[in-house]
Amino acid sequence: MNNVFIATPSYLIKKKRDFTGGIAQLAKLGFNVINPEFPRVLPSPQEKAAQIHGAFADPAVDLILALRGGYSAMKSLPHIDFELIRKHPKIIAGFSDLSALLNPIFERTGLVTLHAPMVINLGTPTAFTLNSLVNAVRGYPEKNLFKGARLKVYHPGSAAGVLKGGNLITLTALIDTDWEIDTAGAILFLEDVDEKLHEVDRYLTQWILAGKFKGIKGLILGDFRGIRSQKVYDILASQMDLDFPVVHCPYIGHVPNKITLPVGAKVELNTERRQLVIEGMSFPGGNP
């Protein structure tokens, strides 16, 4: 698990030093970046899809790591060959805007993807973030995803399901499209950054009206930078009966300490033990 391909499925890094810092950190971790050139031109949606296809099909590539988030990853969805991805399984990682790719790739291929830090996040990472990322690409020898993380319990309980989720505004944009996330049976995690309270209220209310919380097994609220998790919980609790475990973990989202989460893994959320444990997954890095 050494060769990394840097993909540009979302937006560009503006400052070259942010890119070189991330590449240097990957080298410290023992990774070999096979395309270390600083991307200066944003690919078209078709070119983004072709880049992803090439990386999956290349036997020399072990890990496909997103350059950064931002916006526009969803534009490539109509051009992606999910059958090609299914036939050439490997790890693809990113978060935020990449939520629009991570979930559809799992749902259409069965391949677990990583909600993980990207090149832009690796210039000055914390030890927690690096340890979680390394644990992930090694196939999760440590199966408790909440180990070392803070947790607040809003609604107690224990539940098992498939881990799905990511950035709230990005996943909301996929509702009523062919790539809408299937939340039935999911342990769902959501996060966002710098949105106003009334905007988060509107997004979550749309999820409620669309029935996206019906049938979920558990809910993990990540960081909503600028909004306290209690406010986010209250939006939900004021409109629906929460008959599943709900927790807040501040180590999910646009935060320094970041848990690398396996989208598509079978997990158990246990509020009494304060754990989120992997029970199984289809993953090139290992199969717990």
User: Which position among 107, 191, 195, 268 bears the catalytic label?
Assistant: 191
Give the full edge-to-edge strand order of the sheet including 186-193.
Answer: 152-155, 246-248, 218-225, 186-193, 158-167, 266-270, 275-280
Crossing angle of the two packed helices 197-209 and 229-237, in degrees rounded to 10: 30
Can 72 be counted among the known catalytic residues?
A: no
Strand, coil or helix: 187 = strand
Q: Which DSSP helix (H) or strand (E) runs through 165?
A: strand 158-167
Can 132 be counted among the known catalytic residues?
A: no
- Which distant-in-sequence residues (6+ apart) come within 8 Å of 92 by Cβ? 7, 52, 56, 63, 64, 65, 66, 101, 102, 105, 113, 114
Please tell me the distance from the alpha carbon of residue 103 to that of residue 179, in angstroms, as a whole number. 9
Please tell me the distance from the alpha carbon of residue 141 to that of residue 288, in angstroms, as a whole number. 7
User: Which position among 10, 96, 99, 229 bears the catalytic label?
Assistant: 96
Please tell me the distance from the alpha carbon of residue 123 to that of residue 129, in angstroms, as a whole number. 12
Task: Return the structure tokens found at 229.
Answer: 């998790």
Q: Point out the residues that are catalytic.
A: 96, 191, 254
